[in-house]
Amino acid sequence: MTSSEPLFKRVAVIGLGLIGGSLACAIRRNGLAGTVVGADHRSEELQLGKELGVIDQAASTVSDAVRGADLVVLAVPVRATRAVLEQIRPALEPDAILTDVGSTKSSFVTDVEAVFGGLSPLVIPGHPIAGSEKSGIRAANPELFANHKVILTPPDNVSQPHLARLQGLWEGCGATVLTMSVAYHDEVLAATSHLPHLIAFSLVDTLAGEDENMDIFRYAAGGFRDFTRIAASDPVMWHDIFLSNRDAVLRVIDHFTHDLEQLRTAIANQDSATLLRVFSRAKAAREHFSKMLSGQAYVTNNSEKQVTFRLQPGGAITGDIRVPGDKSMSHRSIMLGALADGVTEVKGFLEGEDSLATLQAFRDMGVTIEGPDDGFVRIHGVGMHGLQAPRGPLYLGNSGTAMRLFAGLLAAQPFDSELTGDASLSGRPMGRVADPLRAMGAVIDTAEGGRPPLKIRGGQKLSGIHYEMPVASAQVKSCLLLAGLYAEGSTSVTEPAPTRDHTERMLAGFGYHVHRDGATASVSGGGKLTATNIDVPADISSSAFFLVAASIAPGSDLILRHVGMNPTRVGVINILNQMGANIEILDEREIGGEPVADLRVRSAELQGIDIPEDQVPLAIDEFPVLFIAAACANGRTVLRGAEELRVKESDRIQVMADGLAALGVETTVTPDGIIIDGGQTIGGGTVNSHGDHRIAMSFAVASLRAAGDITVNDCANVATSFPGFVELAHGTGINISAEGAE
Ligand code: S3P
């Protein structure tokens, strides 16, 4: 076929209503057929079709339309299908594709089988998920299918070339084509289209029947209008759909009626917890509708978004800012709040994708969580044994912390669960938590090499163990302590070097005793958590970008407010100070069991240093930006004992070295660290962040001392830990813009 030849010679559209008319129009407009011929038993509609230019030819009978056609589209009310098929049969060409646009697919298949005695490989049922409450050919719109989905439900023996042509036709009209089975289509549509129409018809009818209906309609505001728009749809068409998809529709009506009854009972009994749980779960689901449609629960799969940072060199950092809340504490506040007795209120919660994944996972396990609303979250705890089985896998996006801590918690639940994540998380080691959990009696399957997904078998009795951690990991420690809350006896974890202790501090805040003996933390199982209020400080890991930015950019003077100063997190300040940074710690205070301070940072001449190994776990997340500081320092900086950096969201040693090399800065990579000679010119260039949020932000900081423009690719994941980074960075003086951001 040459490119100028249309996909079909002659398309017969039987039924010139909204969908048939729009399709005919779209085929003509897009040159997808030599001739579009229409048939309709309503002669005025047919006439109008010709006059409005919707069709090329008006056929006087259905068989006239079908004769010679290589594509026949039925666009008649579902219940008229069989009669029309009878008329088509004698005239249908042997090589013609027969399709339809009806809302129920099993009834079409049944009708075809009844009339033709079977389903030929050229019968391809279809359903465009597009429409409007308007009906008739006057409403025909060639754009109706653009950016909409069309579902095809081909039989198993479908002719693939014919399927491809039909798919091409819909794509030519601007639609995206999906294929699925007839039964699945009918179930899905019963829930997503048929039930809402039924409710709209019923609601409007009920209200119209009330005595005060005039008043009700007069005062009906936006909500009523929005909700009932579809009650103006074609009654005959919908009558046919409900009768044709009877079984699937009955199932979903029963489900809905049951849930409505539950809400009725909750209102009658003043049961606020149930009402809030249902409403907040629904609100979150509605807000994340488009994300759910991409198949990823409520959390965006960031690898599908392409965000690029563009940076112009130079600038000084000034201002008075507060970066978003601490990620580690935000995760833990939701986890412990959910398991507590009572209501926990959290201020300063990080509304980043990682902690939102944790929040959503608890909603999926039946916990009512209000918010987040400007960092405020209210968690209605369900108690240690109140979680419910989630309906499907818990998708944790990019978050290693969520997956590892959940592993401990879920190993002790009575139900099975599965933990999944994005491409980066799916490559990260989980054996470090699965192995000791198994030693406690947990049953966990991982993919090859101990990678996600984690499949956790519920109903296991856990026993406390003593565990000497081979790596200094707060995630492993926290995972085991959480499992230990449910285990028989005592669970103790010894760390080879101090790691962040937010779990221990927060457990204590919730009234759970954690015993500390040197490098060992232990809990006894069987206790309970009591709700408390939590004030999450600004994340020192996010502050780190600005500590380095203001240090390396001449003429800078910046205040960072309310920064979390937990001694297990301040490695970045210790290291920068040792390099000669000018960081003042102001107004040190303790809030909710965590030290907090304001920081003033001014530019300074930095010196290269040998980074003390004991600082590595205390600055584990800050090394990417510390490498930028090292590149801007005088002399050599050497990092050792940091092999853990290779299994973070990316291999942070190699990815940083590659990024620096792309800007003309040579470094020496070692198995457990890096050697950076400062004072080399940072040139312009393009850096690949490998989807790692901290790499992307580090190179944004590097621009302050660069000689040329820097482009950083693959930056969408900055939203996992630092929503609003670009605006905040720009406000302080970094010449940054983002392309492709939502
Ligand atoms: C975290 C612990 C650290 C850190 C991560 C958050 C936590 O990981 O890198 O960003 O919240 O417990 P490891 O425990 O793997 O070192």
Which domain-ending residue is among 142, 165, 180?
180
Burial of residue 46, with CB atoms counted within 10 A of its CB: 0-12 exposed, 13-18 middle, 19 or more buried:
buried
Q: Which residues contact 477 (CB under 8 A, 6 or more apart)?
A: 469, 493, 495, 499, 503, 521
**Nearest 5°: phi and psi at 158?**
-55, 145
Where does the pLDDT of residue 243 fall: very low under 50, low under 70, confident under 90, or very high at 90 and above? very high
Does some domain include residue 707?
yes
Q: What is the pLDDT of residues 131-174, one digit of tens each?
A: 777 778 999 999 999 989 999 999 999 999 999 999 999 999 99
Q: Taking the CB of residue 293, how many other CB atoms lie within 10 A of it?
A: 9
Does some domain include residue 325?
no
State yes or no: cis peptide before 453, omega within 30 of 0: yes
Which domain-ending residue is among 535, 563, 591?
535
> Are 632 and 606 part of one and the same domain?
yes
Most informative mutation of 350, 401, 618 for ligand 1 (most atoms within 8 A of CB): 401
Q: Which residues contact 249 (CB under 8 A, 6 or more apart)?
A: 190, 194, 195, 198, 242
> Are 515 and 567 part of one and the same domain?
no
> Are 172 and 192 part of one and the same domain?
no
Q: What is the pTM of this model?
A: 0.74
| CATH number for 175 | 3.40.50.720
The sign one gets for the Cα dihedral 401, 405, 411, 417 is negative
The answer on whether 332 is annotated among ligand-binding residues is: yes
The answer on whether 500 is annotated among ligand-binding residues is: no
> Are 718 and 579 part of one and the same domain?
yes
- Cα of 475 from ligand 1 centre, angstroms: 5
The number of helix segments (H) and strand segments (E) in the chain equals 28, 31
- Cα of 355 from ligand 1 centre, angstroms: 13
> Are 365 and 250 part of one and the same domain?
no
Does some domain include residue 88?
yes
What's the average model confidence in pLDDT over 258-273?
94
Q: Which residues contact 36 (CB under 8 A, 6 or more apart)?
A: 10, 11, 13, 24, 27, 28, 55, 56, 57
Which atom of ligand 1 is least distant from the CA of 332?
11
3-state helix, strand, coil in the chain (%, to 5): 45, 20, 35
Which atom of ligand 1 is least distant from the CA of 617?
16
Give me the pLDDT at residue 131, please: 75
- Which residue has a Cα nearest atom 11 of ligand 1? 328
> Are 170 and 203 part of one and the same domain?
no
The answer on whether 400 is annotated among ligand-binding residues is: yes
**Spatial CA neighbour of 315 closest among 630, 740, 623, 603:** 603
Reported as half-sphere exposure (CB side, CA atoms, 13 A), residue 433 has a value of 36
- pLDDT at residue 655 above 80? yes
> Are 522 and 553 part of one and the same domain?
no
Measured torsion, CA atoms of residues 174, 180, 181, 185, in degrees rounded to the nearest 10: -70
The answer on whether 432 is annotated among ligand-binding residues is: no
Does some domain include residue 283?
no
What's the average model confidence in pLDDT over 30-57?
95
**Residues in the ligand 1 pocket, defined by CB under 6 Å:** 328, 401, 473-475, 478, 500, 620-621, 644
Number of domains within the chain: 4
Most informative mutation of 432, 471, 475, 615 for ligand 1 (most atoms within 8 A of CB): 475
- Cα of 540 from ligand 1 centre, angstroms: 13
Does some domain include residue 337?
yes
- Cα of 454 from ligand 1 centre, angstroms: 18
Q: Which residues pair with 128 in a beta bridge?
A: 150
CA distance 724 to 731: 11
Residues designated catalytic: 621
- Cα of 639 from ligand 1 centre, angstroms: 19
What's the average model confidence in pLDDT over 518-537?
98
Does some domain include residue 323?
no
- Cα of 439 from ligand 1 centre, angstroms: 22
- Which residue has a Cα nearest atom 15 of ligand 1? 473
> Are 445 and 368 part of one and the same domain?
yes
Give me the pLDDT at residue 539, please: 98
> Are 629 and 731 part of one and the same domain?
yes
- Range(s) of the domain holding residue 93: 8-180
Mutual orientation of helices 693-702 and 725-732 as an angle, nearest 10°? 20
- pLDDT at residue 737 above 70? yes
Q: What is the pLDDT of residues 414-460, one digit of tens each?
A: 999 999 999 999 999 999 999 999 999 999 999 999 999 999 999 99
**Spatial CA neighbour of 556 closest among 586, 587, 600, 597:** 600
Q: Which residues contact 22 (CB under 8 A, 6 or more apart)?
A: 130, 139, 140, 141, 142, 144, 145
Quote the strand ranges of 15-69, DSSP E: 33-39, 57-58
> Are 262 and 392 part of one and the same domain?
no
Give me the pLDDT at residue 480, please: 98
- Which residue has a Cα nearest atom 4 of ligand 1? 621
Q: Which two tokens stand for residue 509?
A: 């805040």
| CATH number for 379 | 3.65.10.10
Which atom of ligand 1 is least distant from the CA of 647?
15
Measured torsion, CA atoms of residues 273, 278, 282, 283, in degrees rounded to the nearest 10: -20
Which atom of ligand 1 is least distant from the CA of 503?
12
> Are 596 and 727 part of one and the same domain?
yes
Most informative mutation of 326, 327, 328 for ligand 1 (most atoms within 8 A of CB): 328
Does some domain include residue 284?
no
The answer on whether 67 is annotated among ligand-binding residues is: no
- Which residue has a Cα nearest atom 16 of ligand 1? 473
- pLDDT at residue 296 above 70? no
The sign one gets for the Cα dihedral 675, 677, 678, 680 is negative
Q: How many residues does the chain have?
A: 742
> Are 637 and 519 part of one and the same domain?
no
Mutual orientation of helices 571-578 and 540-552 as an angle, nearest 10°? 20
- Cα of 500 from ligand 1 centre, angstroms: 8
What's the average model confidence in pLDDT over 556-578?
98
The answer on whether 428 is annotated among ligand-binding residues is: yes
- Which residue has a Cα nearest atom 13 of ligand 1? 473
| CATH number for 211 | 1.10.3660.10
The answer on whether 461 is annotated among ligand-binding residues is: no
CA distance 22 to 141: 5
- Which residue has a Cα nearest atom 9 of ligand 1? 621
Which domain-ending residue is among 165, 180, 195?
180
**75 three-class SS:** coil
Strand ranges across the sheet with 520-524? 466-468, 490-494, 520-524, 515-517
Does some domain include residue 321?
no
